[in-house]
Amino acid sequence: MVLKAFFPTCCASADSGLLVGRWVPEQSSAVVLAVVHFPFIPIQVKELLAQVQQASRVGMAVLGTWCHRQQEPEESLGHFLEGLGTIFSHEPWLQLCRERGSKFWSCKAIHRQVSAAPDVPSEDQVMLIFYDQRKVLLSQLHPPTVVSDHQDGDTMASTGGLAVVFDTVARSEVLFCSDQYDEGPVRLSHWQSEGVEASVLVELAKRASGPVCLLLACLLSLISAASGCRLWKLWPLPFIRSKLSTCEQLRHRLDHLTLVFSTQKAQSPAQLMRKANMLVSVLLDVALGLMLLSWLHSSNRIGQLADALVPVADHVAEELQHLLQWLMGAPAGLKMNRALDQVLGRFFLYHIHLWISYIHLMSPFIERILWHVGLSACLGLTVALSILSDIIALLTFHIYCFYVYGARLYCLKIYGLSSLWRLFRGKKWNVLRQRVDSCSYNLDQLFIGTLLFTILVFLLPTTALYYLVFTLLRLLVVTVQGLIHLLVDLVNTLPLYSLGLRLCRPYRLAAGVKFRVLEHEVGRPLRLLMQINPLPYSRVVHTYRLPSCGCHPKHSWGSLCRKLFFGELIYPWRQGGDKQD
């Protein structure tokens, strides 16, 4: 195999010295982490490497020598470096050299032990791969490969070759802690040797986060305890809570905040990203909510909204009344059964009359109610949208009632028809065996059954038409509510922090690597530049999307159509059934 030497780009202009890093024998690759400069005492270098190995659990060694001939005037240094191979014995011994007067490098890898003639060391072909140490240190590979390690620090390198390089650099952070201004025994050159990177704001935030998290965690636990107390379990409060999507959304947000401000540190990078995503999502939500609030409360919009609400409700009720009058006549030229038509029509008209009276009763209080409800937008845009969805549900409650009446009636009719149809053919449904069996009926049973069957068949168009009309209205309302819920879900689950990271610091989320062949001359070792290939946006969203509320319709289209045909009631959001405590 060709020997691959991973060399950091920051050390390309460093002074001559020793190469320090990790040797991976399974892939025949040497990952150079730093360069040790002169003067040094070999014992101290070995001590430093042992310390780093213990702290990072990565096998460190002196891999070879680095000679920067463009800066060193003397030629004798080259011979001195070759002698160092006997002090730090490593198999194979790398010798990297940057020539004077040319931008090409020379690399040699010398094997001393394994060769035919023990005096003549054999050489290997070397391939140089440059990598940006800072970016490789900070980046995370997706999918994350778990690199297991043994006790002495060597890892199973058969799984994913380049993941080993990333892992090595990431774990050796302790090696990069000292910079050139430290008065240590050994002078190193790496990406942080110009000065350790740190940010004042980040450090302050880290110090402040401890007490702030503690305080907020206590507050949130108080709120959750208050919401979980026995008072809320008195009927009908749990029923109302399960039906309102606002309570669901508030609970979801409370869960998010509890996770973000928990005092436990995040175990893995994925958990850290999730926390960051949740925090950014909550902040964006609150910011949008405050914008909405300021817009609503400016120039008396609430008053305008409240003034417009009652006429709109009246208008809707009037349209419904026209619709019912139309159904009671000859809708679309169809001939209805007059008696049943009048009964159903008058029944529904009375409901609308009740509803209108109720709205008119509430009209003086509507502005106050809307004003207070509008204040809840400061909790977040999602809460405001959930409240809007609930208001729509309350205002169209009469449509829901009509749908339920029509559906129940239609359902009864269909079941009656199917059972009597079986009787008509001389069969019946065997409940014990769950199948259709033949049965011999009496004459009276057959007579009455056939009579009822005929009545139901002739009344079917009327009931079916009412059912169809009210189901369509109900589906319209459900569609509007569904769109609002979709928007809420989008704000809840979009991983904004990850998307922002992908936009601004694309090397942090890596899908892999890419190589570029640098200028090449025949006879010289091959030089490649390894760059980070960032994760595509679709995969970022897919990997880091937050868990949603869970109130999605669980029917397929086929089962939905079947339920509609048989008149079974459709519950688009099964909130109450799933989360019963």
Partner 1 sequence: MEDERTFSDICGGRLALQRRYYSPFCREFCLNCPRLSLRSLTAVTCTVWLAAYGLFTLWENSMILSAAISITLLGLLGYLHFVKIDQETLLIIDSLGIQMTSSYASGKESTTFIEMGKVKDVVINEAIYMQKVIYYLCILLKDPVEPHMISQVVPVFQVSTEHFPFSNEILYFSAYLLPLKFSRNVNIYCQSIGRYLTTNFSYFKSSPLR
CB 320 within 8 Å of CB 397: no
> How far apart, in Å, are the Cα atoms of 412 and each of 400, 406, 568?
18, 10, 10
Q: Does 288 bind partner 1 (CB under 8 A)?
A: no
310, 340, 491, 513: which one binds partner 1 (CB under 8 A) = 513
520, 554, 562, 579: which one binds partner 1 (CB under 8 A) = 520
181, 458, 515, 566: which one binds partner 1 (CB under 8 A) = 515
Grouping H, G, I as helix, E, B as strand and the rest as coil, residue 2 is: coil
Give 363 or 533: the residue with its C-beta nearer to partner 1. 533
Eight-state DSSP code of residue 155:
B
- The one segment of 237-245, 279-287, 317-325, 525-533 that binds partner 1 by CB under 8 A: 525-533
Eight-state DSSP code of residue 15:
P
Q: Which residues fall within 8 angstroms of residue 390, CB to CB, at 6 or more apart?
A: 244, 245, 246
- The one segment of 239-247, 304-312, 383-391, 508-516 that binds partner 1 by CB under 8 A: 508-516
Structure tokens at 426: 């001389």
Could you tell me the smallest distance in angstroms from the CB atom of residue 109 to partner 1? Answer: 14
Q: Does 185 bind partner 1 (CB under 8 A)?
A: no
Q: Does 514 bind partner 1 (CB under 8 A)?
A: yes
CB 526 within 8 Å of CB 128: yes
Q: Does 196 bind partner 1 (CB under 8 A)?
A: no
Q: Does 25 bind partner 1 (CB under 8 A)?
A: no
30, 52, 62, 162: which one binds partner 1 (CB under 8 A) = 162
Amino acid letter, residue 288: L
Could you tell me the smallest distance in angstroms from the CB atom of residue 89 to partner 1? Answer: 25
Give 431 or 517: the residue with its C-beta nearer to partner 1. 517
Q: Which residues fall within 8 angstroms of residue 242, CB to CB, at 6 or more apart?
A: 575, 576, 579
Give 140 or 419: the residue with its C-beta nearer to partner 1. 140
Q: Does 127 bind partner 1 (CB under 8 A)?
A: yes
> How far apart, in Å, are the Cα atoms of 379 and each of 382, 384, 396, 488?
8, 8, 26, 13
d(Cα 541, Cα 261) in Å, to the nearest integer? Answer: 23
Q: Does 9 bind partner 1 (CB under 8 A)?
A: no
- The one segment of 1-9, 203-211, 230-238, 254-262 that binds partner 1 by CB under 8 A: 1-9
d(Cα 83, Cα 80) in Å, to the nearest integer? Answer: 5
Q: Does 27 bind partner 1 (CB under 8 A)?
A: yes
Structure tokens at 380: 């977040």
Residues in the site for partner 1, rule: CB under 8 A? Answer: 1-2, 4, 27-28, 125, 127, 129, 158-162, 512-515, 517, 520, 526, 528, 533, 536, 539
